[in-house]
Structure 1
Amino acid sequence: MPKCDRASFLIGAAAGAAAAVLIQKQTSESMNVPPEKVLKKVKDTFKQNGPVDGSWIQMKPEQVDNNGFSTLVYKGGISRPGEQGNEQFEFSADAKTGTLLNVQPV
């Protein structure tokens, strides 16, 4: 293979590999449920037991290790009126499905 063809091949291969990595990253990120949709689902669940005063969610999911299994989750919080004043809860939800995984009072 002439020197010129080898260089062209290597440049093409490097460009192809870089494009593949970029496409894979964008595809994996786009497979997550949007955080706004997850927050609405969680709020709707809480509203079954009364009104919700406030809520928040992290816009970027984070990797959490749970008993040896790694999962991408959104973390957030909900507040609602209670008998003793405002009640606050933190939650985590699966970023791929939007399923509520954990709720803890604060």
Structure 2
Amino acid sequence: MNWKSFILGAAVGIIGGYAAHEVLNNKLKVSPEKVLEQVKKQFKQNGPISGSWIHMEAEPYEKHQIHYKVYKGGISKNNNGSNEQFEFIADAQTGTLLDVRPLSDALIS
């Protein structure tokens, strides 16, 4: 057996495996833009949205002793002349909303 061929084959296999791992990892995450689009769609069912934002980096989050990578963001709505703001937390893997919290007026000022 030729050692050069063996080493070349092993190197190609390792590089190919690493590349496949990276591609699969990136495909399993939902983009932050897509998450924001889904959240806005849910909020629009109850009236128009006046603003929205999302943090582009996934960060660790724990809820009920379960660990997630999440995107955090916010939605602003105009409800009968008053501005309502909400913070949301969505799973980076699936885009599923994990938590929605209204922001109080004291935090906004």
TM-score category by the smaller chain? 0.7 to 0.9
Letter of the 2:25 partner, please give it.
S
Alignment of 1:1-106 (within 5 A): 20-21=17-18, 23-83=20-80, 85-106=82-103
Percent identity over the alignment is: 49
SS at match of 1:42: helix
Instruction: Please say which of residues 44-53 and 56-65 is displaced more in the overlay.
Output: 56-65
Instruction: Please say which of residues 89-98 and 13-22 is displaced more in the overlay.
Output: 13-22
> In the TM superposition, what whole-angstrom CA distance separates every residue of 1:67-90 from its partner, at most 9, and x where no partner exists?
221111111000010236210000
Structure 2 regions of 5+ residues with no counterpart? 1-5, 104-109
In structure 1, C-alpha distance between the alignment counterparts of 2:71 and 2:80, rounded to whole Å: 29
Relative to 1, partners in 2 of residues 1:21 and 1:69: Cα closer, same or farther, differing over 3 Å?
farther
Aligned-residue Cα RMSD (Å) equals 2.4
> In the TM superposition, what whole-angstrom CA distance separates every residue of 1:47-103 from its partner, at most 9, and x where no partner exists?
000000000111111111222211111110000102362100000111111111110
Which ranges of 4 or more aligned residues in structure 1 deviate by more than 4 Å? Answer: 12-23
In structure 2, C-alpha distance between the alignment counterparts of 1:25 and 1:70, rounded to whole Å: 21
Letter of the 1:34 partner, please give it.
S
Following TM superposition, by how much is the alpha carbon of 1:27 offset from its aligned partner in structure 2, in angstroms? Answer: 2.7
Structure 1 regions of 5+ residues with no counterpart? 1-8
Following TM superposition, by how much is the alpha carbon of 1:104 offset from its aligned partner in structure 2, in angstroms? Answer: 0.3
SS at match of 2:86: strand
The alignment covers a number of residue pairs equal to: 103
Following TM superposition, by how much is the alpha carbon of 1:19 offset from its aligned partner in structure 2, in angstroms? Answer: 6.7
SS at match of 1:49: coil
SS at match of 1:89: strand
